[in-house]
Amino acid sequence: MGEPELRSGQVADAAGVNVQTLRYYERRGLLAAPRRSPGGHRLYPAETVTLLRVVKAAQRLGFTLAEVAGLLAAGRHDAGLRTRAHDKLAEVERRLADLTAVRDTLREAISAGCDDLITCAGSPRCPLPFAGSDHDPATV
């Protein structure tokens, strides 16, 4: 007899997703269409649970589902995974730098007592980047 097969609910429970997510991933091509039981139930190979866990882990690392599909295809052909991960890391580092700049500007605005945007826009102490203002931090 072959490997045990799991029904949709069993796969979803084991992978920590819901059945709707499972079906969505099928529609997106992340999961192969499962075979059907005589009663019409979807039957998945046991490795589907691992595949779903990989998809969710990649999403937590910031990959989109389209990128995950590419990573899975690359993994099957043993090519491109390191490059894609390196590119994603560079993207995350750029986003972190942007968020750090936003955080620092917000802290400065709080320290400067910015409580009213109109008043703050006219103040040379305001750190908020009002485009075209004489005190735009980006042009200082």
Final residue of a structural domain among 56, 79, 102: 79
| Cβ(8)–Cβ(41) below 8 Å | yes
**Cα distance between residue 114 and residue 17, in whole Å:** 44
Q: What percent of the chain has pLDDT over 90?
A: 49
Both 85 and 49 in a single domain?
A: no
Both 22 and 58 in a single domain?
A: yes
Both 133 and 90 in a single domain?
A: yes
Both 75 and 9 in a single domain?
A: yes
Instruction: For residue 101, give the amino acid letter.
Output: A
Q: Which pLDDT tens digit goes with each residue over 85-115?
A: 888 899 999 999 999 999 998 888 888 877 7
Instruction: Please give the structure tokens belonging to residue 129.
Output: 């980047």
Both 22 and 88 in a single domain?
A: no
**Cα distance between residue 99 and residue 31, in whole Å:** 34
pTM reported for the whole predicted model? 0.65
Q: Residue 113's pLDDT is what?
A: 79
**Cα distance between residue 11 and residue 42, in whole Å:** 10
All residues at 6 or more sequence positions from 18 whose CB lies less than 8 Å from its CB, including other chains: 12
> Looking at the 3D structure of the chain, how many domains does it have?
2
**Cα distance between residue 140 and residue 21, in whole Å:** 49
The CATH code of the domain that includes 39 is 1.10.1660.10
Arithmetic mean of pLDDT, 66-87 = 77
Both 58 and 101 in a single domain?
A: no
Q: Which domain holds residue 98?
A: 80-140
**Cα distance between residue 43 and residue 8, in whole Å:** 7
**Cα distance between residue 48 and residue 72, in whole Å:** 13
